[in-house]
């Protein structure tokens, strides 16, 4: 357990540049070193097992959940996206209100908010009332809704200056996944 005085922050990593998820993973490492109880919930990535961070989480025994498989494609049935998003959010709500964690990462959580599968106002109101005060909560993803930015304590926008993708260089193991 952390000290009573711990002030839980709501942290948002957003923007078009690379580094949102990896910034959150950096916090996971730092918090792990402090014996924090950590939970990572990924809202977009499908479970392939090839993600370096998932392998690392297994080794250091960080609780890790991959939800929202199939969210990403534009031609997806919106009702399916809506239902998946609500299921995933209910799961996250249980973890957040469980009082079992000091740090929770909601990776790529901006997307269900941005696409309107979840109501941003309702999500923020629930967090305002139900997030345990000492819990640090990190949300990543592009297109963070303005209301989320307003509610957060810390917001960093990753700005792309260069990305190897523009030179046709594909994602690199250990760097991109």
Q: Which residues bind Mg ion (CB under 5 A)?
A: 20-21
Query: Segment near ligand ATP (CB under 6 A), from 17-25, 67-75, 91-99, 129-137?
Result: 17-25
Burial class from Cβ neighbours inside 10 Å (0-12, 13-18, 19+) for residue 17 reads middle
Nearer to ligand ATP, 63 or 176 (CB): 176
Pair 12, 144: CB distance under 8 Å:
yes
Residues 106-145 that bind ligand ATP (CB under 6 A): 140, 142
Exactly one of 72, 122, 160, 169 binds ligand ATP (CB under 6 A); that residue is 160
CB of 143 to ligand ATP, least distance (A): 10
Give the nearest distance from C-beta 69 to Mg ion in angstroms.
16
Per CB under 6 A, 16 contacts ligand ATP: yes
Q: How many CA atoms lie less than 13 Å away from 153 in the CB half-sphere?
A: 12
Nearer to ligand ATP (CB atom), residue 35 or residue 72: 72
CB nearer to Mg ion: pick between 7 and 159: 159
Non-local (6+) Cβ contacts of 150 within 8 A are none
């Amino acid at each position: 357990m952390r000290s009573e005085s711990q002030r839980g922050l709501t942290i948002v990593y957003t923007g078009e540049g690379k580094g949102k998820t990896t910034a959150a993973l950096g916090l996971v490492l730092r918090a792990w070193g402090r014996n924090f109880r950590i939970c990572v919930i990924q809202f977009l990535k499908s479970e392939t097992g090839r993600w370096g961070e998932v392998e690392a989480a297994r080794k250091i025994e960080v609780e890790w959940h991959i939800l929202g498989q199939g969210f990403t494609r534009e031609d997806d049935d919106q009702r399916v996206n809506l239902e998946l998003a609500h299921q995933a959010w209910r799961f996250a709500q249980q973890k957040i209100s469980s009082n079992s964690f000091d740090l929770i990462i909601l990776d790529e959580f901006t997307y269900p908010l941005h696409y309107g599968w979840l109501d941003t106002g309702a999500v923020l109101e629930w967090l305002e009332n139900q997030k345990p005060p000492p819990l640090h909560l990190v949300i990543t993803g592009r297109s963070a809704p303005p209301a989320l930015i307003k509610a957060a304590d810390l917001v960093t926008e990753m700005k792309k200056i260069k990305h190897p993708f523009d030179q046709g260089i594909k994602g690199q193991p250990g760097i991109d996944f």
